[in-house]
Chain A
Amino acid sequence: MARVNNWQIGREMSYWYPESRPQKQFAAIFDVNKCIACQTCTLACKTTWTSGKGQEYMLWNNVESKPYGFYPLAWDVNILSKLGPQTWNGNKYEGQTIFESAPAGERVLGWRPEEIDYAHPNVGEDDCAGARIENGASLAVPHMSWFYYLARICNHCTYPACLASCPRGSIYKRPEDGIVLVDQGRCRGYQECVRACPYKKVFYNPMTGTSEKCIACFPKMEQGLQPQCFVNCIGKIRMAGYISTPDKASPENPIDYLVHVRKVALPLFPQFGLEPNVYYIPPVHAPKSYLLQLFGPGVFDAIKTYESAKDDADLAGLLGLFGCSEQVMPRWKRMNDSVIGMDESGKEIVRVPLREPMHVRDAFDTKYDVQRTNCP
């Protein structure tokens, strides 16, 4: 075990390997408030990567309704229960990570789902928690009855539990982009990674006898294109890019801006200790005690910041840039009523307005000699 720095929990922690950060780290922002659970991301991934035999049940990307939705069944309830109640002190996590609470002789505290736990991948869809609806109701934010949608891919963690747990060393983190891969040639299907990943984002393929997982569409990222689940996201909740460590954060980098500068996007279950690299803008309508459990103590300020976006053209503008181009946009800026996504060199990739303009045509189009009407 080595001692490594995990900025998400505000302290050092134990990990199987020494700290080694990639030159660039793949990262993503998911705005939960915009997610509609359409599952287009899920299908984009599935039709691209997992339509083969042995992969039928497998969803590298899934969207579940929280709190009653799980894929696989009860994945987070189970690991939270195993870990037991834990404590944050301000932004410092005083509890145990899953590495620190690993049983003697094991590298990670984990559990392995049964095959049938994957059976109902959208169990809990739209099922709500909180007070039960009896007849009529009027709900204000936060909603007394609630659910929300959590889209999930591999977090391409800085400290992956799968990587730490693999007895063959078949899982590695790419130094150039931090993407975590299971070597399909070397893997022997021991499923230690399946057991270790608290997010349950490594899957065993009984046909090939290997474990598989989200590859962050590296063949696309290598070409400067965002992954399939991002490009197909019609809720426009997602942006892929690269994240810096907090000390090197650049406000021109949209990921850094939202995570480090505005602190509006938060890691999922930071207390597990993996330093996951998918960052969520938490749902404003869900109860905060529940959200604290998922997203850590930053959730309070994140929600306040998000709710202030109506008076904040930068924040609202950047969130409106999501999904407007297939290309990765490592830089961005706002100019008056426009938001611009740019490449590393500052060259414009796409420019969109803060609000879609209105356009009124002449009642009579003299060029084409015809009356234009809204009531034809």
Chain B
Amino acid sequence: MKTPELNRRQFLEALSAAGFGAFVLSASNGWSLDSVSNPLAVYPDRGWEKVYRDLWKYDSKFCFTCAPNDTHNCILNAYVRSGVVTRIGPSMKYGEAEGLHGNKATHRWDPRVCQKGLALTRRFYGDRRLRHCMVRAGWKKWVDAGFPRDEHGKPPIEYFNRGRDEWIRVTHTEAAALVASALTNIATTYTGEKGKAKLTAQGYDPETIEATGGVGTQVMKFRGGMPLLGMTRVFGMYRLANSIALLDAKIRGVGPDKAVGGRGFDNYSWHTDLPPGHPMVTGQQTVEFDLHAVEHARTVVIWGMNWITTKMPDAHWLTEARLKGTKVVVIACEYSATSTKADNAIIVRPGTTPALALGLSHVIFKEKLWDREYVERWTDMPLLVRMDNLKMLRAKDVFGGELATLTNQTTVLGKDDKPGPAGKHKNMMMTDVLRKEWGDFVWWDATANVPRPISRDQVGEKSPVKNPKLDGAVEVTLANGQKVRCRPSFDLMREYTDHFDPKTTEELTWAPAKAVEDLARWIAQVPGTTLFGIGMGPNQFFNNDNKDRGIFLLASLTGNVGRLTGNVGSYAGNYRTAMFNGAPFYINENPFDIELDETKMSRPKQYWKAESAHYYNHEDHPLKVGNRMLTGKSHMPCPTKSMWFANANSILGNVKWHYNTVVNVLPKIEMIAVNEWWWSTSCEWADVVFAVDSWAELKHPDITASVTNPFLCTFPRTPLKRIFETIGDIEVFATVGEALAKKTGDKRFADMWKFVRENKTSVYIQRILDNSANAKGYKIEELEAKAAEGIPAIMENRTNPKSVGYEQVTDSRPWYTKSGRLEFYREEDEFIEAGENLPVHREPIDSTFYEPNVIVAPKMEVFREHGPEKYGVSRDDLSCDTRQGRNVVKTWAETKITHHPLAKDGYKFVFHTPKYRHGAHTMPIDTDMVAILFGPFGDVYRHDKRSPFVAEGYVDINPDDAKELGVEDGDYVWIDSDPSDRPFKGWQKNKKDYEFARLICRARYYPGTPRGVTRMWFNMYGATPGSVEGRKTRADGLAKNPRTNYQAMFRSGSHQSATRGWLKPTLMTDSLVRKEMFGQEMKKGFMPDVHCPTGSPRESIVKITKAEPGGIGAQGLWRPAALGVRPSYESKEMKAYLAGEFVDGKPGAGSGLGSNDNQKPGAGSGSGSGSGADAGKKVS
């Protein structure tokens, strides 16, 4: 920047133009060049300082709540000047939070805020803010033309030019009328036998068509994204789905007994946040602990969790715990941000977590370090498994007689018994039918050398298990005289983990053998004092249920499940809406029996059905491999003909296999409606966008809670005037409700939202609170008043910090499993068929250098998996579709000599996409002030006009790998994944779409990532047809849609160009026993966000090819590399700097200089000359 030669007048004008009027008015008059004798001591005229005092001033402030699914839910202060929010800050009042019985938080919880929250000022008023509702021109024509369709029901293609079409501004009422019309038309079209015939003609799977039952409303999918983040505002979408039963009643002419609502997509599981092995071991959604628990633990193992970048306001609990002596172990597949806070940082191969957990367990088995009491009292490990049919041995088969009567906090429901509302449950419940099905179990008393029965009541203090046989087989004589070979579950685990000795574990996982042994011994040393914080990393691989089962095995062997200081936690997303388990009184209010008296309670009846969105992500197909349908009946999806979603970009804009979805799936969907306040990728591909209020403008209160902190946070109504033509999400539902009432003549559609229209949304909230186990006692008026002052409330969980499993361990309450114990052996047919009756290690399904998805195991009598031949497919068929249901067992020795099928074609880099500090779920890295700080390529002035934005997506690659590819630091590279289906099927013949779908990005030399492992951060907006058009046609070259202002952070493609939809058979069973979402009743099979597919977004092996040089204008090296300040490009000066050579310390009294700890980086390498000289030196 040149120094402009400004005179005083120009200076003032420039200030004024810059919006710094305050400066101009109050800056001191241009005083002459008075000499200043010593400005350290005196300064003649300081009147000008007023300009900064004026800049600091504000007219008023108010509180609002920011909740982008990062679990923090910060109540923030907004500072207003002249009616505009000019800046944001923390409320600093979490320390005043108080529970119903006077339990208080402390000010160590303050401040709660982050950089994304502070940058919201740039969003509230930004150029991508929704200013009014928008409807896609072609779609509106289709509606206006009366929904023309061909003989198979398909709309003419010319109306569906999504992503490239023009947009039309409409009012909310107009948009609502269009949506009401379309919903009515779609439901009508696909109702009855005629509807089914149309779906058949359109090519949908017969099973999915059958699942509709001929009910047209079942092809309509609704999704309130992350409903815990807005119990009425976001969850309202499901209330609307429930009210759609009225539409079905009208179309089919049926009564309330037969009517069916819409379908609701899942959330926690859709985001691959659900750790699907948790319900397999514990029978309920997820085990976790509030993060401040770490202060009380001896050891914290942070496993694939980048805590300090994704749990930012709670990072201090970790660093402060460490300060006070908690040992911090970080396991990650790179030297991560969180690794810098570790006493011990272990770097592993991506996707090998099951094997690492098994390897750690092996040490404990082998060295007999397990916590005997815990294993006996709370796990299935003493229970016997039959080797003839691989089922658990049942007491009835051995001893005959009746089932045990359950009395331990359990009620068995008879045929006519109802469980009642979830918030009133005390005992666990199951039907007598299920109770019979589960039976009782058997353990072997080694003292008396006899089998003994055990019921699910007998856990913890009530457990009779003493000196059980844990090793080897026994022959058990059944009541019918049959002799059966049985083995304790323990013995099976032990035998299997023998395969994962430290050397094998090191080869497979890359974790050094000694580190594995040391860590296992350390954890086992003091049982019940280790908290395992498991992150999104390991969860985003196909083997994620195996990972959970393995980790629980390790944790159980060391007494670390369900204790305040020893537990397992899974930290991806926010969930457990069950904290407000009175939610059904709102979402499921019976649309045929609406309670319009605010003093009376609603009467829930669920008419909508849930469905996993992963089928939509799987090209709207269930998983069928060869002749075998691997999606259970209880999971079966319906065809997707309309989608309407609120509060998240994830279901479309950020969908896994995004480009296949927009190119190949969307054309079959007839309506896509979105509620948004910021123009996201989803809006780019939508038909209708409802403009809604931002958090700063909410005119209806709402509530939320978190799984990582103990607060019940309220969204207070704010005094800020609506900036644009927006209304609340919940008002959108009310408006559509009115439109449906008008369209159908059924005023109940409108009555559903009566209290919204009357500005009394709090009636609905209070109904939820009054019926929620952990929120009952709170009054919404008081919660809102406190929140308006910046103070949250404290959720009345059983403990603070919350620790799931506390009741099981402390109150000897059974787990929500058949045996009441933590179950490691899975006897259900689906698991035996999959070769996963034990917690096994499967190689990643794509992100591996070896044969994908192989079960790594020795020959064992317990494995009777159904190999490919059983499904009628070839053992050599490694295609992505078949691979998902491929059960092939190999030992590690056999596995390690195999190769990924694409390795020979140069696909040799694991490409994983973790989340990062600069973006949170619904707040990607696209605000300028945050973006310029996103990694190395931020540049607010865009010196290199190729840059799509003031920052851009990049891939981190090991410098040695990059050099082998001829890629320099900062170069642009192409990243391609499996060409058979990515970025989308058929790209070879579709250059028009391939242009925006293929991923190009910068490469960064990243010495902290292992060879073969590349990383791209999540939370960036991908390229769309419009962003590519902008890049090519705009004078500034920004990748910004000229029609919508949508701003991509890629020239083309995105971090989702390399992903695809994956379905894992063990996540789609009809037999897994699990607690319901709300309350204490146990059932089996599908349950959204508990037992259903989760996808595998970190599964992609890629090829990387140099595209362009990194220097400005594609000339030469990227400047920082050229200047010698980048890894492996170090100049002489940089090398000296890294080695600390710019100072020399001579020992002085007490200085400690010259002692042994004055070590050089890379000590042990013998070089001591800094990173450059150490390149290639392996750390171990």
Contact = CB atoms under 8 A, between A and B. Distances in A.
Max count, chain B CB within 10 A of own CB: residue among A88, A89, A185: A185
B2 A206 contact: yes
A137 B15 contact: no
A56 interface: yes
B777 A374 contact: no
Interface string B508-550: 0111101100000000000000000000000000000000000
Given A87-B1146, A185-B48, A289-B1140, A206 B4 contact: yes
Given A43-B118, A132-B1176, A361-B799, A288 B1125 contact: no
Contacts, number: 584
Contacts of B514: 138
Interface stretch (B30-38, B433-441, B1049-1057): B30-38
A324 interface: yes
A233 interface: yes
B51 A136 contact: no
A292 B1137 CA distance: 11
Contacts of B28: 183, 185-186
Interface in B1129-1151: 1133-1134, 1136-1151
A57 interface: yes
Given A37-B917, A44-B118, A145-B1007, A323 B110 contact: yes
Interface stretch (A98-106, A212-220, A239-247, A251-259): A212-220
Contacts of B33: 168
Contacts of A215: 52
Nearest to B338: A36
Contacts of A85: 1136, 1141-1144
B938 A121 contact: yes
Nearest to A317: B324
Nearest to A38: B312
A367 B34 CA distance: 74
B292 interface: yes
Nearest to A124: B936
A230 to B, nearest CB: 9
B63 to A, nearest CB: 15
Contacts of B1160: 287, 289
Given A90-B1151, A234-B112, A172 B1180 contact: no
Contact size range, B:
35 or more
A219 B118 contact: no
B349 A207 contact: no
A353 interface: yes
Contacts of B805: 374-375
Contact of B315 (A83, A133, A148, A234): A234
Nearest to B311: A36
Contacts of B958: 132-133
B1140 A290 contact: yes
A146 B938 contact: no
B3 A47 contact: no
B1137 A76 contact: yes
Given A36-B309, A43-B115, A310-B325, A139 B935 contact: no
Interface in A133-166: 133-149, 159, 163, 166
Contacts of A20: 38, 40-41
Interface string A110-135: 00000110011111111111111111
A133 B1008 contact: yes
Given A36-B917, A47-B929, A125-B935, A130 B324 contact: no
A42 B801 CA distance: 31
A319 interface: yes
A325 interface: yes
B115 A39 contact: yes
B1179 A133 contact: yes
Nearest to A306: B323
A232 B89 contact: yes
B1165 interface: yes
Contacts of B1142: 80-81, 83-86, 293
Nearest to A209: B6
A134 B1009 CA distance: 8
Nearest to A349: B107
Contact of B1125 (A68, A271, A291, A323): A68
B674 to A, nearest CB: 28
Contact of A90 (B316, B801, B939, B1149): B1149
A51 B20 CA distance: 10
Contacts of A248: none
A43 B337 contact: no
Contacts of A190: 3
Nearest to A368: B777
B73 to A, nearest CB: 14
A58 B339 CA distance: 30
A34 B340 CA distance: 10
B344 A120 contact: no
Contact of B11 (A90, A209, A323, A370): A209
Contacts of B337: 36-37, 126
Contacts of B423: 370, 376
Contacts of A289: 1139-1140, 1158-1161
Given A185-B31, A353-B106, A356-B292, A52 B19 contact: yes
A147 B1160 CA distance: 14
Contacts of B869: none
A129 B1127 contact: yes
B100 interface: yes
A134 B919 CA distance: 29
Interface in A341-365: 350, 352-361, 363-365
A201 to B, nearest CB: 16
A116 B1119 contact: yes
Interface string A51-76: 11110110000000001101001101
B1010 interface: yes
B421 to A, nearest CB: 11
Q: Considering residues A142, A215, A231, A293, which has the most beta carbons from chain B within 10 angstroms of its beta carbon? A: A293
Interface in A30-48: 33-34, 36-40, 42-44, 46-48
B37 to A, nearest CB: 8
A77 B1134 contact: yes
A321 to B, nearest CB: 9
A146 B1161 contact: yes
A376 to B, nearest CB: 4
Contacts of B960: 132
B344 A116 contact: no
B959 interface: yes
A89 B1148 contact: yes
Nearest to A36: B308
Nearest to A167: B33
Contact of A34 (B111, B296, B316): B316
B1140 A373 contact: no
B115 A374 contact: no
Contacts of A19: 40
Interface in B1-60: 1-4, 6, 10-11, 14-15, 17-20, 23, 27-31, 33-36, 38-43, 46, 48-49, 51-53, 55-56
Given A20-B40, A132-B1175, A208-B11, A287 B1140 contact: yes
A136 B1011 CA distance: 10
Given A132-B1176, A139-B335, A292-B1143, A186 B31 contact: yes
27 contacts: A20-B41, A38-B917, A67-B1138, A86-B1143, A90-B1153, A120-B936, A121-B933, A121-B938, A125-B933, A126-B1006, A128-B1127, A129-B1171, A131-B1165, A135-B510, A137-B345, A168-B33, A169-B35, A186-B28, A210-B11, A215-B52, A235-B308, A289-B1161, A297-B1153, A356-B106, A356-B317, A358-B564, A374-B806
The 7 A-B residue pairs with the shortest CB-CB distance in the complex, in nearest-first order: A90-B1148, A136-B510, A300-B1152, A169-B36, A310-B325, A138-B515, A289-B1140
Given A125-B935, A235-B316, 13 more contacts: A88-B1151, A89-B1148, A120-B938, A120-B1120, A122-B935, A145-B335, A209-B14, A310-B324, A324-B107, A358-B801, A373-B807, A376-B579, A376-B1079
